[in-house]
Amino acid sequence: MEICDLNVWYGGNHVLKNINLKIPKNVIFAIMGPSGCGKSTLLRAMNRLLELNPTAKVSGQVMVDGINIYSDKIDVTWVRRQFGMVFQIPNPFPHLSIYDNVAIGPKLNGLTKSKSELDQLVRWALEKAYLWDEVKDDLRRPAAALSGGQQQRLCIARAIALKPRIILMDEPTANLDPVAAMKIEELMLELKEDYTIVIVTHNPQQAARVSDYVAFLYLGELVEVGETSQVFTRPINKLTEKYVVGRIG
């Protein structure tokens, strides 16, 4: 995935300025920065979820496998299907069952042809998300009955059931207890085998633990991008250095 000259405005506020990024395949790419720096906005610009906000204006290009997703010819729902998204607050549909939460995406998008194929896909996604063993006996229970960590893994299952190219994660562990958060981090390392993962975090330690590449975003500007080991040990920019040792944010 490649982002070229991306600019975003909310009303008159210029919140993302000339962002240029290259994200390689099958890596975990972290975007870190203090709250309000535009991380979540950048993430939502990648799958055009930003368009839900009527005041948001976007210019620039986002290329996925050579296709500009901001091109006029591209259908926005198709774009969103290429990305799986996991949110800060675990947000399964509380009135649907565990099964239906995972099945709804493939069903609406016509990914499977038969009931048994759909069953298999749901099982596969739940296994991938390390949730199958905990819920296999009561898939018909409402999703609201699960714990916070389980709900977040259900959301991951819901995202990968769409067979996306890229998974976007918006501070996926911010609202979880440390044990549940650790489970999600382990899961991310596992999922890296098959997917490219872009994770937004305000916590530099998390970026250091899980990511291969990291970008530091500050006040809407991309300050530094590089391999995680390099950025954390030999940051080029003074601002980045201050941030990773915990003096900003």
Partner 1 sequence: MNTDKAFRLSLFFFTISSFIIVASIVVSLIATSYPIFMRDGLSFIIRGAWNPVREDYGILPALLGTLITSAIAIAIALPLSISLAVFSSELIPGKFKIIMNNISDLMASLPSVIYGLWGLFVLAPILHQFVMMPLHTHLGFIPLFSTRPVPTNLFTAGVLLAIMIVPFASSVIREAYSAIPYYLKEAAYSLGMNRWEVIRMMLGYIKSAIFAGTFLALGRAMGETVAVAMVVGNIMRFPKSLFDMGYTISSLIASQFPNAEVYEFMVPALYGGAFMLFIMGLAINLIGFSMMRRMVVHR
Contact set with partner 1 (CB under 8 A): 47, 49, 52, 54, 77-78, 80-81, 83-85, 87-89, 91-96, 104-105, 108-109, 144, 155, 158-159, 162
**What angle (nearest 5°) sits at the alpha carbon of residue 21, between those of residues 16 and 25?**
135
Kindly state the tokens that stand for 243: 């941030």
For the chain, where are the E strands, in sequence order? 2-10, 13-22, 28-32, 56-64, 67-68, 83-86, 166-170, 196-201, 213-218, 221-227
Which amino acid would we find at residue 241?
E
**H or E segment to which residue 59 belongs:** strand 56-64
151 burial via Cβ count (<10 Å: 0-12, 13-18, 19+): buried
In angstroms, give the least distance from the CB of 242 to partner 1. Answer: 32
Which residue's CB is nearer to partner 1, number 100 or number 224?
Answer: 100
Which residue's CB is nearer to partner 1, number 70 or number 208?
Answer: 70
In angstroms, give the least distance from the CB of 94 to partner 1. Answer: 7
**H or E segment to which residue 181 belongs:** helix 178-191
Q: Name the DSSP class of 104.
A: H
In angstroms, give the least distance from the CB of 91 to partner 1. Answer: 5
Which residue's CB is nearer to partner 1, number 167 or number 222?
Answer: 167
In angstroms, give the least distance from the CB of 84 to partner 1. Answer: 8
In angstroms, give the least distance from the CB of 109 to partner 1. Answer: 6
Which residue's CB is nearer to partner 1, number 162 or number 222?
Answer: 162
User: 10 Å Cβ neighbour count for 55?
Assistant: 9
In angstroms, give the least distance from the CB of 38 to partner 1. Answer: 17
* Residues facing residue 167 across a β-bridge: 84, 197
Number of H helices, E strands in the chain: 10, 10
In angstroms, give the least distance from the CB of 82 to partner 1. Answer: 9
Which residue's CB is nearer to partner 1, number 103 or number 217?
Answer: 103
Which residue's CB is nearer to partner 1, number 52 or number 179?
Answer: 52
* Residues facing residue 213 across a β-bridge: 29, 227
114 burial via Cβ count (<10 Å: 0-12, 13-18, 19+): exposed
Which residue's CB is nearer to partner 1, number 168 or number 223?
Answer: 168
